[in-house]
């Protein structure tokens, strides 16, 4: 294999690792939550079994739906899978990172969210409309907080390119106050973007608490499998952001098999530990009332702004 092809192959391998491990991470989080709540819980491989089962089932499609409802699972899956191309996993360099940066990844997330909201409205279901309206409110609050957190990180590491940020974090030995506040902000944003408590409860189908589940309630079969898989991929991408920016050890420029194996194990260990922390937090907090959620988003924005202030007064 030529030297020019090695980075491309490594980028493809990193993307496939994210897509393949995404359901496993969801299963691990569910298992940890079950154990924390004194339950046995299902296997960590249950999300894979669910996706395979749904792929074999027929779909039931509302007569009032249009092409938006039918196309949304594919648009969401392709958008989020494309975002995975830019994420370093075992080496900090991604050959596809030259085509975009973290702002493009956020844009791809926004594209998937936009079509999911439209799909929730498209079927003329009261649940879908309720979930879509709540999701629009949440996204209007969360996205500014996410951009400010990204701004804080990019100031500290000198750019918005994910590979550049990861490389800078890897070689940085000083934990700046701006990075600490950005980490707090990004952790809360991960809870919000993945529909975790206290923002949403992914395990419920109660009308008073549903947000994401209400928008995809009408899906079944292969479409539901793609929706669930897309959500898992988005979750592992956001967690990868956190571990790459704030816990970058284990990532290397060396492409030898031994180093790559160590890098993969380090990535799995870091994402598993962060997932366990998220699952533990979920068991300790309750679902907040919808109109209390902006208070938590304000705390997130304030944390990022404090990080910006610390950057300029250092």
Predicted confidence (pLDDT) per residue in 149-185, tens digit: 888 888 888 888 888 888 888 777 567 788 888 899 9
> Degrees (nearest 5) of the Cα angle 139, 212, 68?
85
**pLDDT value of position 208:** 58
Residue-wise pLDDT for 239-253, tens only, equals 999 998 888 887 766
Per DSSP, helices labelled H in the chain are 5-36, 46-55, 67-83, 102-122, 126-157, 162-171, 177-193, 212-215, 221-246, 257-284, 293-313
Read off the tokens for 125: 């279901």
Using left for φ > 0, alpha for ψ between -120 and 50, and beta otherwise, residue 62 falls in: beta
Q: For a pLDDT cut of 90, what percent of the chain falls above it?
A: 26
Q: Are 122 and 68 in contact (CB under 8 A)?
A: yes
In angstroms, the CA 112 to CA 194 distance is 13
pLDDT of 281 above 60 = yes
**pLDDT value of position 116:** 92
Read off the tokens for 10: 């490594």
**pLDDT value of position 129:** 81
Using left for φ > 0, alpha for ψ between -120 and 50, and beta otherwise, residue 124 falls in: left
Run of H or E residues at 99: none
Q: Indicate the average pLDDT of the chain.
A: 84
Closest CA to 134 of 217, 213, 218: 213
Residue-wise pLDDT for 199-250, tens only, equals 877 666 655 567 777 788 888 889 999 999 999 999 999 999 999 888 888 7
Of residues 227 and 99, the one with the higher pLDDT is 227
Q: For a pLDDT cut of 70, what percent of the chain falls above it?
A: 90
pTM: 0.92
Q: Are 177 and 307 in contact (CB under 8 A)?
A: yes
Domain encompassing residue 124: 5-313
In angstroms, the CA 230 to CA 232 distance is 5
Read off the tokens for 13: 């391998």
Give φ, ψ of 22 to 5 degrees. Answer: -55, -50
**pLDDT value of position 77:** 95
261 burial class (0-12, 13-18, 19+ CB within 10 angstroms)? exposed
Q: Are 256 and 264 in contact (CB under 8 A)?
A: no
Task: Give the position of tokens 């395979």.
Answer: 52
pLDDT of 3 above 70 = no
In angstroms, the CA 190 to CA 237 distance is 10
How many domains, in total, are found in the chain? 1
């Amino acid at each position: 294999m030529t030297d020019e092809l090695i980075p491309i192959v490594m980028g493809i391998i990193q993307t496939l690792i994210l897509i393949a491990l995404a359901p496993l991470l969801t299963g691990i989080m569910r298992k940890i939550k079950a154990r924390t709540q004194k339950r046995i819980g299902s296997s960590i491989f249950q999300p894979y079994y669910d996706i395979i089962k749904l792929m074999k089932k027929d779909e039931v499609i509302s007569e009032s739906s249009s092409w938006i409802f039918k196309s949304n699972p594919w648009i969401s899956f392709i958008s989020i899978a494309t975002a995975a191309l830019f994420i370093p996993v075992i080496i900090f360099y991604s050959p596809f990172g030259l085509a975009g940066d973290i702002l493009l990844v956020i844009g791809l997330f926004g594209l998937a969210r936009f079509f999911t909201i439209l799909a929730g409205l498209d079927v003329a279901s009261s649940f879908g409309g309720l979930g879509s309206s709540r999701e629009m409110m949440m996204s209007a609050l969360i996205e500014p907080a996410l951009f400010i957190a990204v701004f804080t990180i990019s100031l500290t590491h000198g750019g918005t390119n994910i590979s550049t940020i990861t490389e800078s974090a890897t070689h940085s030995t000083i934990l700046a106050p701006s990075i600490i506040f950005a980490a707090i902000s990004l952790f809360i944003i991960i809870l919000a973007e993945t529909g975790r408590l206290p923002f949403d409860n992914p395990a419920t189908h109660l009308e008073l608490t549903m947000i994401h589940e209400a928008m995809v309630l009408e899906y079944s079969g292969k479409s539901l499998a793609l929706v669930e898989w897309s959500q898992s991929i988005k979750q592992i991408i956001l967690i990868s952001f956190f571990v790459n920016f704030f816990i970058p050890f284990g990532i290397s420029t060396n492409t030898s098999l031994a180093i790559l194996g160590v890098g993969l194990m380090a990535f799995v260990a870091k994402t598993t530990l962060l997932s366990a922390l998220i699952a533990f937090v979920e068991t300790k907090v309750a679902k907040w009332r919808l109109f209390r959620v902006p208070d938590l988003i304000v705390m997130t924005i304030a944390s990022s702004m404090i990080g910006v202030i610390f950057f300029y007064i250092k």
